[in-house]
Structure 1
Amino acid sequence: MMRRTLVLTDMPPHVRRQHTDAPLPDKQGRVGPAVTAADVREFLMAYCSCLVAATAFLF
């Protein structure tokens, strides 16, 4: 049986460098809103239809 040890070390320097050198995204660079009114409407339609279906199934 092969025994493996748990390694609790930091990432290698070349991996860590890639993450720290990348510029952080700013919130003002967005083109449009992340959630549109159509997204909210579709979510509410799906939620209400599932609620009605579950209620009809239970009663």
Structure 2
Amino acid sequence: MDMKGREVRNEALKNVLIFLWLGKIDAVVEYITQVSGNLGVFRRKAAFRALKSIFYRLKWRKS
């Protein structure tokens, strides 16, 4: 059974929060890059680009 867009988005957000809680910024960036093609998760490319740039900045601060 296919997941609805809301379910996909909620699952993606849950995974991002888990990675952030564990301090795995690299995993967050990789995960967001993988799910970015799914329109149920990110409807606007601009919103995705902004989120991706935030995580890249966090990655550089941590390393």
TM-score range, shorter chain: 0.3 to 0.5
Q: How high is the TM-score relative to the length of structure 1?
A: 0.33
TM-score (norm 2): 0.31
The higher radius of gyration belongs to 1
Structure with bigger helix share is: 2
